Amino acid sequence: MIVLATRSRPRRAPYPDWFRLGGHGLPGAYLDKTGASLVSVVPPDQSAVTPTEYGEQARNPAFGGTFGVRDLTRGMGQRRMRKGPNGRCWYTLNARTRAGRWIQGPALTSYTPGTVDAAVGITRWFEIGSKIYAGNGRYALDGGTDGTGWTVSKDFGSGKAMVDVVVAQTNQTSSTRYAWVGMGDSENFYTFDGTTWTQTTGANAMKARVWAVDHDTLYRVDDANRLNECSLDADATLVANWASATQRIGGKDHNVVRMQVNAAGALLLFKADDIYALQADGAVHRLFQEQQFVPAATNGEALGQWLNDTYVTYGNATFRLSADGGLTQVGPELLRDNGSPVKGYLSAHHGTDHFLLSGLYNPDTSAAYLVEYTGEVVQDDYGRVEPVWFGSITAAFTGKKITSIHVSTIGAPSGHKMAYLGFSDGTISKYVLACTPDPSDCTSEVFSTADGSVYLGQIYFWFPGERKALLHAIGEGDNLSPSTYAQLDYRTSQGASYVALGTDFNAGERQTVYFPDSSSCAFLDARVVLKNGAAT
């Protein structure tokens, strides 16, 4: 938490204080000219009125004022604080405020596999035989039982690429649990049982570009938009068991990009131009043609589920599709006052126990960020509703995009889960997800030892037309010490660089640090830098 104290109409030294005693700045009384003499006048306080609140601002602003920023649980995207503190910040880098405390981001463990298809990146994940695997274009990478090895399990060959995968077991007596791996419309799909890769046979009949499975049916799409079905009571490696159930999804000029069975059991098909659903009667319906999505080959690729809802990105917009078919735009592109580096479009999604985890890509800077969504909404200063996003919880990933996210117990401590991040250059990162809503309450949480930064919105101290004297900043925290401390950087001009206040907040639960003499501002840009050399 940070509290900033100001006073309007700056004075000369010992400004910003009226006088100093023993090195401490103290306020005095106003001097007002009455007749031929000067008399001391004390401005009235609010004793004659009933204040709207009993707090730091319940006094006459002539005495100065304080601006306390404590709770930032309403997310990012507030560039300018036009009124008082509202629970929002501008953005963060390698810092989290979602649970109330301001803490550094998670510690990432990163890998560059010895062999990668850097032109494709990590696009899919699957688990079989207690191991985790990553789809990387022409390669299927084996991460072993702890997500650390990342060796080549299968090289499909030059010019070929694994495009989608689903893990399913049929109901036959001798059935084996397989990963069903699609290779697009150019060649037949593979099955993998954790040991052996087998390519199916059957000319022009066993292609797969997209997969899905529900309680009794395995689905695949080939030839751009042709949906094929096979009962889990049949052998899905045989052509004959697929041939009798095929239909086209919309027009063939736009491919089916992803499929998903939602919480209500409906099969959703995400095409480049719209979203379709397979109804219980076997008919396929186009759901949102009134939206008029601009067709794009990547539409629907960023797809994930959290709780009962599906999250999908079309163009630069992200939508929540509820189990009953309602469509709501919820992406960070709706943060009207953001303007921070943490902006762009969402490129990957995956649900966790406490939030939706998404990758954000800024095409202007070619940088990626990791953000969290809680499903909540807030009102901005004008009463407009905006979604609550937090980020970035990591430092920027420069020159690459987060192309896929996976959550698994593989490689995680007992009772916990691991978040795996796949990038467009073929690299992989992972970190332990906290088992509690507040990461600092989880003993298995491993914090980053790099600096975390919380950027506050521009602060006008309730008087945007006045220039204010900057008096002091007060840092409060329940874990401030010489080894875990915070710093305050600030600027009073938007085009200027941040400068350090110069004294660390490292002495107990509450500490006051004075601004340099004659410091003043029309507005203040402030960032709090979190320092911690330990990973716990």
Could you write out the DSSP letters of every residue in 213-244? E-SSEEEEEETTTEEEEEETTS-TTSTHHHHT
> Residue 12: its pLDDT value, please?
46
User: What pLDDT, in 10s, does the model give residues 80-127?
Assistant: 887 778 899 999 999 999 999 999 999 999 999 999 999 999 999 999
CA distances in angstroms from 532 to 81, 86, 483, listed in the order given:
28, 27, 6
- Is there a contact between 499 and 489 (Cβ–Cβ < 8 Å)? yes
pLDDT digits (tens, 9 = 90+) for 232-249: 999 898 888 887 667 899
Averaged pLDDT score across all residues of the chain: 89
Distance CA 189, CA 182 (A): 5
Mean pLDDT of 422-430: 97
pLDDT-derived band at 293 (thresholds 50, 70, 90) equals confident
* Collapsed DSSP state (helix, strand, coil) of residue 66: strand
Q: What is the pLDDT of residue 262?
A: 92
pLDDT over 60 at 423, yes or no: yes
List, as one string, the DSSP characters of 162-209: --EEEEE--SSTT---EEEEE-EEEEE-EEE-SS-EEE---TTT-EES
CA dist., res. 461 & res. 470, Å (int): 10
What pLDDT, on the 0 to 100 scale, is given for residue 190? 96
pTM reported for the whole predicted model: 0.89
Mean pLDDT in residue range 504-514: 92
Q: For the residues 508-523, what does the mean pLDDT come to?
A: 91
The residues with which 310 forms a beta bridge, in sequence order, are 305, 321
Q: Greater confidence, 176 or 141?
A: 141
C-alpha angle with apex 241: 240 to 244, nearest 5 degrees?
Answer: 80
The predicted-structure confidence for 11-46, as pLDDT tens digits, reads as follows 445 555 555 665 566 666 544 545 545 555 566 665
Residue 321 is predicted with a pLDDT of: 95
Tokens linked to 466: 């006045």
What average pLDDT does this structure show over 355-366? 97
pLDDT, tens digit, for every residue of 440-482?
999 998 999 999 999 999 998 888 888 889 999 999 998 889 9
Local structure of residue 240 (DSSP, 8 states)? H
Does residue 422 surpass a pLDDT of 90? yes
Q: Tell me the three state secondary structure of residue 219.
A: strand
Dist. CA 42–CA 40, nearest whole Å: 7
Strands 458-459 and 80-81 turn out to be: parallel
Residue pair 461/530 in contact (Cβ under 8 Å)? The answer is no
Percentage of the chain with pLDDT > 70?
Answer: 88
Kindly state the tokens that stand for 135: 């789809």
Place of tokens 């989880």: 442
pLDDT of the residue at 82 = 77
Phi, psi at residue 240, to the nearest 5°?
-60, -30
Instruction: Categorise residue 444: left if φ over 0, alpha if ψ from -120 to 50, beta otherwise.
Output: alpha
Structure tokens at 238: 């045989």
Beta-bridge mates of residue 532? 484
Average pLDDT (396-417) is: 97
Bridge partners, 226 (sequence order): 222, 248
pLDDT at 224 over 70: yes
Distance separating alpha carbons of residues 524 and 474, to the nearest angstrom: 15
| pLDDT at 10 (0 to 100) | 47
- DSSP conformation class of 243: H
Q: Residue 241: which H helix or E strand, with range?
A: helix 240-243
Of the listed ranges 47-56, 171-180, 382-391, the least confidently predicted one is 47-56
Residue 465: CA count within 13 A, CB half-sphere: 0
Contact residues for 51 (Cβ-Cβ < 8 A; gap 6+): 58
> How many other CB atoms are found less than 10 A from the CB of residue 401?
22
pLDDT range class, residue 171, cuts 50, 70, 90: confident
What pLDDT was estimated at residue 415? 95
Residues 6 or more apart whose CB falls under 8 angstroms from that of 447 comprise 103, 104, 105, 106, 107, 439, 532, 534, 535, 536
